[in-house]
Structure 1
Amino acid sequence: MINNIKRINLNHSFIFFLFCNIISIITFKAKNFSISPLICLFLILVIGVSHGSLDHIKGKRLLKIFDIKNVFIFYVSYILLTIFIIIAWVLLPAISLLLFLIVASYHFGKEDTQFLTTNHNSINPLLYFFKGLLIILAPMFFHFDETVTIYKFLLVEDETFYTILDYIETNKILLIGIVLSTLSSVLLFIKEFEIKKFVIFLDYFSIIILNYYLSPLVAFTLYFCFLHSLRHSISLIIEIDNLDFNNGLIKFLKKALPLTILTAILCVISLFFLNNIYDLNSSILKVIFIGLASLTFPHILLEYLLEKYEK
């Protein structure tokens, strides 16, 4: 099963790498090429969100571990944590954004890589963090002003926060961070070396290409939907049925559809109300990133508890 996942993910990374190169050529030839924020939101709601839409099933597994029979407890806890994150972001946007970027770096690095490692030692979490940090640093390195503008749209108005960002950008700290991310990818590649680990470098160059040629929002959307989310969904499909991928895919879609639709409806409602206060693009950015943060924290917590207690 593990070798099957590695093989599928290697093929997936190679196809995504080719896709990124095609996008870069199109962008280079067509100077005004872009994807609207509305399309980015649609892709994230349809493809991106679905990779976490089996959390209710995982929640039942967690309740079973703690011998809790009332599934209502899980739903209430999950929703309350989501609401708490949104409230925290409104009250403390700079701190919430910083925590989200740190947690997201680790999450992206781990979920995009852990299927390649069998020796889980104490240094792996640090390598995962620095590897995933590329997702956060690359947009700022190639499009600093655009990235800062997005942060401002996310309710972050603390001037000290932007003074620190300017200091980081001026003193080449972003470049140092990318070098550290590169070194972490190299270390993960040479540990327990096998040919399938070229996934790491295919993903690395795909992220660099996307962020060099595209705006931060579009680059993140393509990465999040077509690399990160699809990879996680593939692992869930194989987990459902490791003998028949097509059968696993059908079952996954049936199980993922309810929460995916519910999340999409809530996001559209939020967009409707936000659009009465802010312009459309600003409202979309808030729904995408604050919404993802509110879903990411409980998703990561659930994954952590399952990983800890199922062992």
Structure 2
Amino acid sequence: MKNYPKIALVASFFGLWMDSYFSHQIQIILGFLLIFSFGILHGANDLLLIKNIDDKNKAKSPIKILIYYVFVVLTGVILFYIIPQFALLLFIVVSSYHFGEQQWQHLKQDFPKIVVLTFQFLYGFIILLLLFNFHTAQVQNIIFKITSVTIPIQYFSLTLQFAIPVFITISAYIFLKEDKWKKKIFLELFFMLLFVVLFKSSSLIWGFALYFVLWHSIPSIIDQITYLNGSFSIKYFYEYCKAAGIYWFISIAGIAMIYILFREEQLFNALFFSFLAAITFPHALVIMRMFKGKVKTS
């Protein structure tokens, strides 16, 4: 779907418009509904992707693949319980790269690996830092709930001030090296300005939900369906949802249990992001393998 960025752009401005009419509480509810729908769905078909990535996996039983996947998820949960500081840092690093890889997946065809990895990581990292910098007190509180460590608020802005010049330098290198990436560079910089407005105007959950769903999860679903079927269509989307249904339901049930046990907002947010991190680890690995397979066959 080549026109999807236009759809996401319109939907983002619609989200900004909704922001001015809905209370903070309504934004939180709508934000979680978005995350629980497309956000969770985009990682619910990982087992099907694993089975289709290479011939070795096709020979493995679904139960064996499920056990491996659950093992990685549980490892993430245990990390958050035993060494939450390291687990949270790992989550930020993995998520940053995962966001950047989704947006710049074809870059590896034209540039050295170290340039691509650094650029993809910085793209996602800056997006997270922009979100953090507009909601520093709330993010600081969530980090404390997870790790029992208080991050000085100025660290968020200092990290952003360091990351942006490095990102711009690599962007300039890509811009000057390959003409075909010039339009993409301008477009993504424009989108980043949109994210600045989005994060500044919205609550933490609403701003994150709009980015996570519109700019990451839905494009990822489109890529996954295209990888599995060779193209995207409503029929294939229905089949994708049908295949992912049971795993999506299990994830939602897990989140619902967390909410029932821990209803206090900041504590729930902390546990929710910890849960999101645990399922992000294996998902990011699966998508990385998927993109690697796409490059080999392209």
* 1: CA distance, partners of 2:211 / 2:247: 22
Aligned to 1:53, the other structure's residue is in SS state coil
Q: Which moved more, 1:108-117 or 1:178-187?
A: 178-187
TM-score by length of 1: 0.81
Matches within 5 A, 1:91-240: 91-115=82-106, 118-122=109-113, 123-153=115-145, 155-159=146-150, 162=151, 165-166=152-153, 168-169=155-156, 172-185=158-171, 187-188=173-174, 191-193=178-180, 197=184, 198-240=186-228
* Cα pair distance change 1:292/1:25, threshold 3 Å: same
User: Structure 2 unaligned runs (5+)?
Assistant: none
* Cα pair distance change 1:307/1:110, threshold 3 Å: closer
CA-based RMSD of the aligned residues comes to: 2.9
* 1: CA distance, partners of 2:67 / 2:24: 43
Verify: 1:76 aligned to 2:67, yes or no. Answer: yes
Q: Which whole-Å deviations, capped at 9, do the CAs of 1:218-250 have from their partners, x for residues lacking one?
A: 211111111100011111222344456233222
* Cα pair distance change 1:58/1:18, threshold 3 Å: closer
| Residue type of the alignment partner of 1:262 | I
The match for 2:238 is: 250
Confirm or deny: 8 A CA contact 2:105 2:291 kept in the other structure. no
User: Structure 1 unaligned runs (5+)?
Assistant: none
The match for 2:270 is: 286
Distance apart, 1:269 and its partner CA: 2.0
| Residue type of the alignment partner of 1:216 | L
Percent identity among equivalent residues?
Answer: 21
TM-score by length of 2: 0.84
Verify: 1:268 aligned to 2:231, yes or no. Answer: no
The alignment covers a number of residue pairs equal to 292
Distance apart, 1:208 and its partner CA: 1.4
Q: Which whole-Å deviations, capped at 9, do the CAs of 1:161-204 have from their partners, x for residues lacking one?
A: x2xx445247x342232343444455555534257625423432
* Cα pair distance change 1:246/1:90, threshold 3 Å: same
Aligned to 2:147, the other structure's residue is in SS state coil
* 2: CA distance, partners of 1:73 / 1:46: 27
* 2: CA distance, partners of 1:216 / 1:94: 21
Aligned to 2:69, the other structure's residue is in SS state helix
* Cα pair distance change 1:184/1:240, threshold 3 Å: same
* 2: CA distance, partners of 1:43 / 1:86: 23
* 2: CA distance, partners of 1:120 / 1:133: 20
| Residue type of the alignment partner of 1:103 | V
* 1: CA distance, partners of 2:23 / 2:232: 43
* 2: CA distance, partners of 1:15 / 1:202: 15
* Cα pair distance change 1:184/1:291, threshold 3 Å: farther
Distance apart, 1:16 and its partner CA: 2.3
Distance apart, 1:262 and its partner CA: 2.0
Distance apart, 1:108 and its partner CA: 0.5
Q: Which moved more, 1:138-147 or 1:121-130?
A: 138-147
* 2: CA distance, partners of 1:218 / 1:105: 19
